[in-house]
């Protein structure tokens, strides 16, 4: 099986590692617009060779589209128009717009929209992680619009990666990830900016930052080239979640302003309910 990875960064590089390790791919071809990424991916052994886009697509059995979602949306129809037997899958964090983009091609059935629910705050080929996807969830969206053999191949890939599968339509996916992923990143970005604005002494931040602060603000190190397009494409859902989040923050603010510590305790106890879900 020849696999072409378009975008040899965190997700694409980690997937390349895993597919080679599992014996699924006997050759991995890399495509990346950044020459430094191509060089580093070869040095790290993430890919076996680098090729141009069309050559890499035509040589592949499976194409993994792992670039920022605004670029993926634009590039996908061109890729689908090149394929015949090949399967194309993406790994982006929003699904509605890329599914609409795929629908413009007569080869829509060769595309499977997916979102492996794993990532870190790092980017580039050096960020690739061995065993990254094991015991994580992945979402396959709008599978009824994909050919059965294409879905089966993608299911096999994620099974080999040790992931458990979820299925939903693209709209439902985008609503849910706004709550469980996108708002977390906005909160982290905002908190980082708050601390940087209020505390000008960087050494003090470093010395005082405990594990709780570090884990909360970790996502603020994420790549803006990836996250701005995500917020753009999922704007309405993110705004809805953000409005609710702001309303919750105002409750905490009002408790402190009015010295209503009884209600403050109720809010914290209510938040503790998340322990039923996240253990």
Q: 250 pLDDT exceeds 80?
A: yes
- 16 and 64, same domain (yes or no): yes
Q: Using one digit for the tens of pLDDT, what is the confidence trace for 187-214?
A: 999 999 988 887 776 666 666 666 677 7
pTM here is: 0.89
The HSE-up count of residue 31 (CA atoms within 13 Å, CB side) is 22
> Residue 279 pLDDT > 90, yes or no?
no
Q: What percent of the chain has pLDDT over 90?
A: 87
For 7, the domain range is 2-169
Model pLDDT for residues 108-120, shown as the tens digit of each residue: 999 999 999 999 9
pLDDT grade for 277, boundaries at 50, 70 and 90? confident
Per the DSSP assignment, residues forming a β-bridge with 49 are: 29
Based on the domain organization, do 149 and 211 belong to the same domain? no
Last residue of some domain: 169, 199, 228? 169
Return the CATH number at 43. Answer: 3.40.50.720
Residue 210 contacts residue 232 (beta carbons within 8 Å)? no
* Residue among 95, 234, 225 at smallest CA distance from 178: 234
Please check whether residues 85 and 186 belong to one and the same domain: no
CA distance linking residue 192 with residue 156, whole number of Å = 40
Q: What whole-number distance in Å separates Cα of residue 154 and Cα of residue 81?
A: 20
85 and 139: one domain? yes
Q: Which residues pair with 140 in a beta bridge?
A: 114, 167
Dump the DSSP string for 12-46. HHHHHHHHHHTTS-SEEEEE-S-HHHHHHHHHHTS
Give the position of tokens 């909360």. Answer: 216
pLDDT of residue 187: 94
Rounded to an integer, what is the distance from CA 211 to the centroid of its chain?
24
Domain end (from 134, 169, 204): 169
pLDDT digits over 128-154, tens only? 999 999 999 999 999 999 999 999 999
Token couple for 143: 């599978």
Cα–Cα distance between 90 and 166 in angstroms, integer?
15
Number of domains in the chain: 2
At 68-90, the pLDDT tens digits run 999 999 999 999 999 999 999 99
pLDDT digits over 41-73, tens only?
999 999 999 999 999 999 999 999 999 999 999
In angstroms, rounded to a whole number, what is the distance separating the alpha carbons of residues 211 and 234?
A: 31
- Same domain (yes/no): 105, 222: no
Q: Single out the residue in 169, 192, 208 at which a domain terminates.
A: 169
Determine the Cα angle at 165 with ends 162 and 168, to 5°.
160
Query: Which pLDDT belongs to residue 205?
Result: 67
């Amino acid at each position: 099986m020849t696999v072409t990875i378009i975008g040899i960064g965190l997700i694409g590089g980690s997937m390349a590692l895993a597919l080679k390790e599992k014996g699924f791919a006997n050759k991995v071809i890399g495509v990346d617009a950044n020459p430094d990424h191509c060089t580093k991916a070869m040095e790290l052994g993430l890919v076996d060779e680098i090729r141009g886009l069309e050559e890499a697509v035509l040589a592949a059995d499976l194409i993994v589209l792992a670039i920022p979602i605004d670029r993926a949306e634009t590039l996908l129809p061109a890729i689908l128009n090149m394929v015949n037997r090949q399967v194309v899958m993406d790994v982006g964090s929003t699904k509605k717009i890329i599914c609409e983009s795929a629908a413009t091609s007569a080869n829509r059935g060769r595309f499977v929209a997916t979102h492996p629910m794993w990532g870190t705050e790092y980017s580039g080929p050096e960020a690739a992680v061995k065993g990254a996807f094991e015991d994580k969830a992945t979402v396959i969206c709008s599978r009824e619009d994909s050919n059965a053999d294409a879905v089966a191949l993608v299911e096999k890939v994620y099974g080999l990666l040790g992931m458990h599968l979820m299925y939903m339509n693209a709209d439902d996916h985008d609503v849910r990830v706004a709550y469980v992923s996108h708002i977390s990143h906005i909160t982290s970005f905002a908190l980082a900016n708050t601390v940087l604005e209020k505390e000008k002494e960087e050494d003090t931040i470093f010395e005082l930052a405990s594990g709780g602060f570090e884990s909360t603000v970790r996502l603020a190190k994420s790549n803006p080239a990836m996250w701005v397009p995500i917020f753009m494409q999922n704007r309405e859902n993110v705004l809805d979640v953000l409005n609710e989040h702001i309303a919750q923050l105002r409750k905490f603010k009002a408790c402190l302003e009015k010295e209503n510590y009884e209600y403050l305790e109720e809010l914290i106890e209510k938040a503790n309910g998340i322990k039923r879900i996240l253990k």
